[in-house]
């Protein structure tokens, strides 16, 4: 099952990259950074990370049903996916607005820079 999950994730990344590079002809070297933003968002909303700050929000999780008593933000997987998609789309718009007029090598340089900045910030 673990191999199938990895296979589906890599297939989604390959299909998305094919749309950007293959059909649009834009070389986006920071493409995987947007997947990382979604993964970080999903990890934050599905973990007890915020319990140290006294924030306890349980929406449809096992903690809400009294099975597990832990602090932090616990959302259902569907809300986590929606939140990760919204945040990733917002960051994509923020990065996309300045790069709309760039073509060719300049677009590749800017997106490569974004892809390298994200791990340093995270």
Rounded to whole angstroms, the Cα distance separating 28 from 59 reads 37
Question: Which residue, among 88, 87, 50, 89, has the nearest Cα to 71 in the 3D structure?
Answer: 50
Count of domains for the chain: 1
Question: Which residue, among 105, 55, 82, has the nearest Cα to 113 in the 3D structure?
Answer: 105
96, 34 contact by CB (below 8 A): no
What does each of the 122 residues of the chain score in pLDDT, given as a tens digit?
789 989 998 998 899 888 888 888 878 888 888 888 998 888 887 776 666 666 556 665 555 555 555 555 666 778 888 989 999 999 989 988 888 788 778 888 888 888 888 888 87
User: For residue 9, is it within any domain?
Assistant: no
This prediction has a pTM of 0.71
Q: What is the pLDDT of residue 76?
A: 73
Question: CA dist 20 to 1, 10, 82, 86, 116, Å?
Answer: 29, 15, 22, 20, 19
Q: What is the pLDDT of residue 2?
A: 85
User: For residue 77, is it within any domain?
Assistant: yes
Rounded to whole angstroms, the Cα distance separating 93 from 91 reads 5
User: For residue 104, is it within any domain?
Assistant: yes
User: For residue 102, is it within any domain?
Assistant: yes
Q: What is the pLDDT of residue 106?
A: 87
User: For residue 41, is it within any domain?
Assistant: yes
């Amino acid at each position: 099952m673990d191999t199938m999950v990895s296979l589906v994730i890599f297939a989604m990344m390959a299909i998305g990259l094919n749309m950007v590079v293959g059909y649009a002809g834009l070389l986006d070297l920071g493409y995987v950074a947007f997947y990382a933003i979604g993964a970080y968002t999903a990890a934050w909303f599905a973990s007890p990370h915020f319990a140290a700050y006294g924030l306890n929000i349980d929406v449809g999780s096992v903690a809400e049903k009294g099975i597990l008593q832990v602090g932090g933000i616990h959302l259902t997987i569907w809300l986590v996916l929606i939140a990760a998609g919204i945040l990733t789309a917002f960051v994509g718009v923020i990065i996309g607005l300045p790069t709309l007029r760039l073509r060719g090598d300049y677009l590749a340089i800017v997106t490569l820079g974004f892809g390298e900045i994200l791990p340093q910030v995270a």
